[in-house]
Amino acid sequence: MQNPQSISELTHLIQSVLENELEPVYWVIGEIADFRQAPQGHAYFELVEKQGNQVMAKIKANLWQFTYRTVAARFESQTGSGLKNGMKVLAQVNVNYHPVYGLSVNVKDIDPSFSLGERARIRQETIDRLTKEGLLRLNANLQLPILVQKIAIISSPTAAGYGDFINQIEHNPNGYKLYHRLFPSMMQGNEAVASLVQAITLAESMREKLQLEAIVIIRGGGAQLDLDCFDDYRVAAKIANCTLPVFTGIGHERDETIADLVAHTRLKTPTAVAEFLLSGFREFEENLGIALTRLDRATRQKLREEETLLNQFSLRIKSGIGNRLNLEKEKLTSKTSRISTLAKNRIGVQTIQLDSLEKNFKKALDNFLSKENERLESRITSLRQLNPETIFARGYTRSEINGIPISQTKAHIGDQLVTHTSGEKINSTITQIEEK
């Protein structure tokens, strides 16, 4: 059986081997995880190597107070951001093994240029992917309404940029009214990407209900590395595929983020976005005024043209009516003359005919009267001959029984017979009747 060793002897052996066999320092690439700062000023974290989402290796790292202050200050001055979780760094370390605390590395330096270069590489890969997938200018192709009046705002409710934006649109000197609805989101940190995607999704889902016309993403400035979430592919793809036009006012002076590249309209600051939206109202009002002025001028010009045409038509109508009246007057005079001549001729003919008819009528009337006089004389002669007085004068009498001529009734013996003569009326009684 071999001689057993104590744990301390083994750990000291490991420590001795590492110190003798390893180089004093190494440059290593890793992602910062579980970063925390101790009250004494030291920083503790892990350096992690990942393949996708799988952790391939990790090691504890220590950044002692004096070194941490120097390294962190230089890193932040060059990158604009402090050290934090999820950041990929190139660190100079020396390997340390402690019998109690185990294996770790002491960080001696961190190269800021690597982090910036790594971000640039990842950023370019994201841009290339978006370009290949046809997403880079997809949102920019959406048609903006003539006037954007209802917007969804994606921001942190406590962000200064959000407050500046609201103050500018609600207190604009022209009194324009812009409806807005806040969809809160984290704007930096490890959870910012998921939060932004969720906020955009929620705003899209409320599009019909709120009648939204655009989405505004505002932040209000920040350190360079604090804007990593706006270079993330997931956020960029969500903006690109958004059914509403997206405006960005993230508030940074450096190169555009990928979110700016895929957005419909990119402006530098939240107040610039507010000014852009309000300028749409001013432009619409100006265009409306110009349109009204043009309409007024066009109307006046048209009225003048129509008035001129109307006067021309009026003169033409008056002239035409005058000419027509004169022509008709001449025709009427001619017809009147012809009618008068024809009437005179007709009257002359009719007068001659009437005179002829009158002569013929008088002649016919004289003949008729002569014949009628002859007939009358003849009838008078006949009547005279038939007159009972004449008959009586010739010696004849008329006998009646009860007022009926005796020739028209049956006489009986004893009837009273009245006999009329020219000068007498004789009453007698029939005593004898002889048949003839």
Q: What is the pLDDT of residues 97-140, one digit of tens each?
A: 988 888 999 999 998 888 777 777 788 888 889 999 999 999 99
Say whether 29 sits in a helix, a strand or coil: strand
383 in a structural domain: no
78 in a structural domain: yes
pLDDT tens, per residue, the chain with 436 residues: 567 888 888 888 888 888 888 888 899 999 998 999 998 889 999 999 988 778 899 999 999 999 898 898 888 877 767 888 878 899 999 998 988 888 999 999 998 888 777 777 788 888 889 999 999 999 999 999 989 999 999 999 988 889 889 999 999 998 999 999 999 999 887 788 999 999 999 999 999 999 999 999 998 765 555 677 888 899 999 999 999 999 999 876 555 788 999 999 999 889 989 999 999 899 888 888 899 989 999 999 999 999 999 999 888 888 888 888 888 888 888 888 888 888 888 888 888 888 888 888 888 888 888 888 888 888 888 777 777 777 777 777 878 888 888 878 888 888 888 888 877 888 888 888 887 7
Last residue of a domain, one of 58, 83, 110: 110
pLDDT for position 152: 96
Judge if 75 and 194 occupy the same domain: no
Task: Report residue 131: phi and psi, to 5°.
Answer: -65, -45
pLDDT for position 148: 93
Q: Does residue 89 contact residue 29 with C-beta atoms inside 8 Å? A: yes
CATH code for position 238:
3.40.50.261
CATH code for position 48:
2.40.50.140
181 in a structural domain: yes
Say whether 48 sits in a helix, a strand or coil: strand
Judge if 268 and 239 occupy the same domain: yes
Give 3-43 pLDDT, tens digit per residue. 788 888 888 888 888 888 888 889 999 999 899 999 888 99
Judge if 90 and 13 occupy the same domain: yes
Judge if 71 and 171 occupy the same domain: no
Maximum pairwise Cα distance, the chain = 221
Judge if 130 and 87 occupy the same domain: no
398 in a structural domain: yes
244 in a structural domain: yes
Judge if 102 and 37 occupy the same domain: yes
CA 158-159-164 angle, 5° bins? 110
291 in a structural domain: no
Indicate the pTM of the whole model. Answer: 0.55
DSSP string covering 91-122, please? EEEEEEEETTTEEEEEEEEE-HHHHHHHHHHH
Q: Does residue 247 contact residue 267 with C-beta atoms inside 8 Å? A: yes
190 in a structural domain: yes
Tokens matching residue 285:
């009002």
Closest by CA position to 277, among listed 244, 249, 243: 249
Domain range for 400: 390-429
Distance (Å) of CA 253 to CA 223, 257, 269, 323 = 10, 10, 9, 84
Judge if 221 and 194 occupy the same domain: yes
User: Which helix H or strand E contains 416, and what residues bound it?
Assistant: strand 416-420
Closest by CA position to 263, among listed 120, 125, 138: 138
3-state helix, strand, coil in the chain (%, to 5): 55, 20, 25
413 in a structural domain: yes
Q: Looking at residue 430, what DSSP letter applies?
A: -
Judge if 249 and 101 occupy the same domain: no
